[in-house]
Structure 1
Amino acid sequence: MRLLPVVRALLFAATPVAIYLALGHFEPRQVIPLLLVLAGLRLLTSGKGATATRGGQRWLLVGALLTLAALVAISNSETVLRLYPVIVNLAMLSLFAHSLINPPTVIERIARLQRPDLPPEGVAYTRKVTQLWCAFFIVNGAIAAYTAVLASREAWAWYNGGVAYALMGLLFVGEWLYRRRHVGASR
């Protein structure tokens, strides 16, 4: 069993929950060290595999998170702190969209781990799946922004710490089932 992807997923899901719990006891600016530690651990566990961010994109994410931390430190605003999942969705959208412009796509890189000789129709399919993930990150980021600005702290934590990850899982499993039934059957 590969432990690193599990640890990385737990770090992603834990961040909104950790922020929610910390805000019950601390001011937003006092939560920044926790946010930076969790983000740092996620970056350290991102590795060099098919889904790892490319160098420039990794530093873009680091810069965005540091900017968010600075804004929270200055404003002490819970709303600004709760924009963290929006930043993560924008970073993922950036990674996936960039791979559409500069192939191979993220999904193609993942597919080639199991099938290095991916045929042209497989490449076309992975491109469509990458576009689907881009749409997901746009919608999910918009909902995360809505919950950050207009929803209660509890609703924000519930959506960003649970529902969003359940939706990602459903998309992942749904695509996998579709591929096994329709794409795999055409081989």
Structure 2
Amino acid sequence: MNAAKVSLFVFFALWPFTANLAFKYGLMQVFLVLSALLLAGRAILLLVISGVHARKETLAMSLPGILLILSALLIQDNWAFYYPVLVSITLLATFLLSLKTKPIIQRFAEISIKNQEVSPEIVSYTRKVTILWCFFFALNGAVALYTVWLGDLDVWTLYNGCLSYVAVGALFCGEYFYRKVILHV
């Protein structure tokens, strides 16, 4: 991973904390414009580098990015707090739509086993794990939405900037443990 990718990852991983500070110090408009420009720049670079293969990912980033742009242009700072909700909805839709063709988790499995055929058992398992992630993103989006409606900036920041990442990590590690220790895959 190059420095630009790492920087973008860190920026968006810390986004709820920086949004909190920007809101509290009256810098939300500047922060929203910067966030929107970074998302747009990443999408353009992704399209230039990966071409057609990046269309789905670029579209997936579009909804949250459009929200940030509209929030900045219309001077609606509060709209930005829906960003984590839209990210969860986008991930939910991406994982859910992948069930029609080849589940995302199956794609990850194929990458990890390189040139080996994926057994029907693994296909079935990856489909179930993709469905599990769909439920997770639905729940995560609902909780993120609740934190917006609650109206407490510190609770919003705690959940969307920390607890949701802990939940993602717990699900990821739990599934990995189950797969390696229980299933021996």
Fold equivalence (TM over 0.5): yes
The gaps in structure 1 that reach 5 residues or longer are none
Corresponding position of 1:84: 83
- 1:90-137 per-residue CA deviation (whole Å, 9 max, x = no partner) reads 11111101101121x110111111224220100100000000000000
- Answer yes or no: is the 8 Å Cα contact 1:89–1:137 preserved in 2: yes
Consecutive aligned runs of 4 or more in structure 1 exceeding 3 Å deviation: 2-9, 27-30, 40-48
Q: When the two structures are aligned, how many residues end up with a matched partner?
A: 178
Which structure would you say has the larger RCO, counting Cα contacts within 8 Å and 6 or more residues apart?
A: 1
Please tell me the root mean square deviation across aligned C-alpha atoms, in Å: 2.7
The CA deviation at 1:179 is: 0.5
Matched to 1:85, the amino acid is P
Asked whether 1:95 is paired with 2:94, we answer yes
What is the TM-score with the length of structure 2 in the denominator? Answer: 0.82
Corresponding position of 2:159: 159
Matched to 1:22, the amino acid is A
Secondary structure at the residue paired with 2:117?
A: coil
What is the TM-score with the length of structure 1 in the denominator? Answer: 0.81
Corresponding position of 1:174: 174
5 Å-filtered alignment, 1:93-132, equals: 93-103=92-102, 105-115=103-113, 116-132=116-132
The CA deviation at 1:77 is: 3.6
Output the CA distance in 1 between the equivalents of 2:12 and 2:41: 10
The CA deviation at 1:25 is: 1.7
5 Å-filtered alignment, 1:19-98, equals: 19-26=19-26, 28-40=28-40, 43=43, 44=45, 55-56=55-56, 58-78=58-78, 80-98=79-97
The gaps in structure 2 that reach 5 residues or longer are none
- Answer yes or no: is the 8 Å Cα contact 2:96–2:131 preserved in 1: yes
- 1:150-183 per-residue CA deviation (whole Å, 9 max, x = no partner) reads 1411111111011100100000000000001222
Distance 1:120 1:112, change over 3 A: same
- Answer yes or no: is the 8 Å Cα contact 2:33–2:72 preserved in 1: no
